[in-house]
Amino acid sequence: MRIERYLRNVTFWHMMVGILSLSVGVTYGLLQVLARAGVYKYGGFVYDTKAYYQGLTLHGVLNAIVFTTFFIVGFLYIVTEVSLKKKLNRGLVYLSFFTMLIGTLLAAWAILTNNATVLYTFYPPLKAHPLFYIGATLLIVGSWIAILNTVITHLKWRKENPGRLTPPPMVAVHAVYAVWFLATIGVAVEVLFFLIPWSLGLVKSINPELARTLFWWFGHPLVYFWLLPAYLAWYFIMPRVAGGKLYSEPMARLVFIMFILFSVPVGTHHQFSDPGISNTWKAVQAFLTFMVAVPSLLTAFNLAASLEYAGRVRGGNGLFGWIKTLPWGDYRFAGFIAPMIAFIFGGISGIVNASYNVNQVVHNTSWIPGHFHLTVGTASAMTFLTLSYILLEKLFGKKPWSKGIATLHSYLWLAGVLIFSWGMMQVGRAGIPRRTHLGLSPYIGAEEKVFMIVSAVGGTVMFIAFLLFFVNFFITVFKRPEVDSEEVDLEFAEAYHKEDGNLPKVLDNFKFWIALAVILIIVSYAPVFFDVFRATYGVPGAYSPFSPSNLIR
């Protein structure tokens, strides 16, 4: 497939905005973990952050929102054109990119000037400058334009290819965007109808519980927006890198459809300790959260079978002999298998979070960042870094400057995150809160202090791994092309069990599954909002993390 020069360049700039944001975010991540361990005190280093919470806001927003959104939109453009062999609308590509970029710059200004130290969840009554909320809105609107572009392109493809099944990688693209669109409706309502009028001073009061509920409508499925592009790479690129095939294509399709259905109506499990929402509906959403674990468990099996196939093709024997014959020294394989290993532990720690009973042990503790650094912080982030090498090669003909460093930093990151998360989870299990400047706290016990230092060691290893990536990536960017990149082939894997004509047509009907997902969202969220409206109300007030005084006098 020939990809036009403009799309190669725009995709490159999506990657660049993402990776540069990540590099700032990762630096603040190192400072966070060192500050929590009491090793580093804020002020006078890098950018003079006013406080721990400003750095934490930068870390969360840049890594979890800006890096992911830019990278995913750019990557999915290429997957769309390659799998459909059809051109996207050029004007919409540019419009989407610049809308997202302007939004990011506005929000970044607000955070860097300490006018939006509200963390990435921006819970009211923490109040930010209106430009932070407007910037975040533009970032999301820009991504909606990318969705529109993709849907238009797919509809044209359908018209030209009647009766043909949507190619499986494109099913994944639809799942990513369906989840993202349904999820962002919640945060759009929160920001447009409540936070922007409140931050502009048009209304005096805000209902924090209502805002939290709308945020988590968005905040949990956001996890799948991060994760599903990684799944796309693991399902359709990784098996071929390993030298084998995807074990089951129909199971992969089913998995992505299940994510469309179950990703959104689960956010209340983040509010298990919130007042005002009935236990019944918290339990219903806990059950639905377990449902969304099912496609991930199916993925674990399907990918393990794909790896086993590859390992046996490479000469592996016995029940587990195939594992050692896998290409552990290939930088692309290392960059996919390391995040997959991290995700095994991310999965179980997520199931603990989702459980209404045991969640009480870990709720709002350091366990939670320990968990999501295994998922978004490794499973997604490291897969995206590996994909950035692959995109540089496929779009610009540039292979990594050092394949050895590319392999090394994947395993180093894995070692770092396992140490970091182990420390964070041990501290969290003991009830130590997250999002707290623990380095200044006098009440931390000796055992917890040790594990906070363990986390600092792990975080430092992760930072070193990222530095290795950063250097290797940018040297690669400035290299001369060495392979032909006229025809772009993402080298999607063949399947051992292929989709055939017997596949029920409903599994290719995205409108049906999205409509079903909307019904499920309404059924599961209507009683939650009923409870919130009945039991909570707006309050006058706005706070900054720097002062316990009400900002409204």
Partner 1 sequence: MRRDLKDFKPKGAVAFFAGMLLMYAVMWFAIYFYLIISRGG
Specify whether 434 is catalytic: yes
Residue 516 binds partner 1 (CB under 8 A): no
Using the minimum distance from each CB to partner 1, give the nearer residue, 314 or 479: 314
Residues forming beta bridges with residue 206, ordered by sequence position: 539
- Active-site residue identified among 259, 372, 389, 463: 372
Comparing CA positions, the residue from 218, 244, 24 lying closest to residue 121 is 218
Q: Least distance in Å: CB of 305 to partner 1?
A: 4
Residues 154-213 close enough to bind partner 1 by CB under 8 A? none
Q: Least distance in Å: CB of 203 to partner 1?
A: 41
Q: Least distance in Å: CB of 544 to partner 1?
A: 34
Contacting partner 1 (CB under 8 A), which of 159, 163, 357, 446?
Answer: 357
Buried/exposed 331-370: b ≥16 CB within 10 Å, e otherwise: bbbbbbbbbbbbbebbbebbbbbbbeeebeebbbbbbbbb
Specify whether 2 is catalytic: no
Residue 300 binds partner 1 (CB under 8 A): yes
Residues 414-443 close enough to bind partner 1 by CB under 8 A? 429
Residues forming beta bridges with residue 248, ordered by sequence position: 497
Q: Least distance in Å: CB of 355 to partner 1?
A: 7
Residue 343 binds partner 1 (CB under 8 A): no
Pairing of strands 205-206, 539-540: antiparallel
Helix/strand/coil (H/E/C) assignment for every residue in 288-335: HHHHHHHHHHHHHHHHHHHHHHHHHHCCCCCCCHHHHCCCCCCHHHHH
Using the minimum distance from each CB to partner 1, give the nearer residue, 344 or 551: 344
Phi and psi torsions of 485, nearest 5°? -125, 25
Specify whether 435 is catalytic: yes
- Active-site residue identified among 220, 253, 269, 363: 220
Using the minimum distance from each CB to partner 1, give the nearer residue, 101 or 252: 252
Residue 351 binds partner 1 (CB under 8 A): yes
Pattern 215-254, binding to partner 1, x per CB under 8 A?
----------------------------x---x-------
CA distances from 272 to 56, 58, 362 (A): 24, 27, 11
Question: Considering CB under 8 A, how many residues would be counted as binding partner 1?
Answer: 34
Residue 6 binds partner 1 (CB under 8 A): no
Using the minimum distance from each CB to partner 1, give the nearer residue, 1 or 351: 351
Helix (H) or strand (E) holding 205: strand 205-206
Using the minimum distance from each CB to partner 1, give the nearer residue, 324 or 534: 324
Specify whether 14 is catalytic: no
Stretch that binds partner 1, among 185-193, 262-270, 299-307, 475-483 (CB under 8 A): 299-307
Cα torsion angle, 278, 282, 285, 291, sign: negative
The number of beta carbons lying within 10 Å of the beta carbon of residue 75 is 25
Residue 352 binds partner 1 (CB under 8 A): yes
What tokens appear for 141 in the block? 């609107």
Q: Least distance in Å: CB of 351 to partner 1?
A: 6
Residue 491 binds partner 1 (CB under 8 A): no
- Round to whole Å and give the CA distance between 144 and 150: 10
Residue 314 binds partner 1 (CB under 8 A): yes
Residue 369 binds partner 1 (CB under 8 A): no
- Active-site residue identified among 174, 373, 409, 437: 373
Contacting partner 1 (CB under 8 A), which of 180, 198, 309, 510?
Answer: 309
Comparing CA positions, the residue from 222, 269, 46, 228 lying closest to residue 120 is 222
Comparing CA positions, the residue from 215, 71, 43, 24 lying closest to residue 136 is 215
Cα torsion angle, 234, 308, 334, 490, sign: negative
Residue 329 binds partner 1 (CB under 8 A): no
Comparing CA positions, the residue from 220, 197, 233 lying closest to residue 76 is 233
DSSP-derived secondary structure for 25-65 = HHHHHHHHHHHHTTS--SSSSSS--SSHHHHHHHHHIIIII
Comparing CA positions, the residue from 541, 525, 540 lying closest to residue 277 is 525
Burial class (CB in 10 A: 0-12, 13-18, 19+), 496: middle
Specify whether 373 is catalytic: yes
Q: Least distance in Å: CB of 424 to partner 1?
A: 14
- Round to whole Å and give the CA distance between 273 and 271: 5
Q: Least distance in Å: CB of 457 to partner 1?
A: 22
Interface residue list for partner 1 (CB under 8 A): 243, 247, 297, 300-301, 304-305, 307-309, 311-315, 318-320, 322-323, 344, 347-349, 351-352, 355, 357-358, 360-362, 429, 496
Active-site amino acid positions = 220, 224, 371-373, 434-435
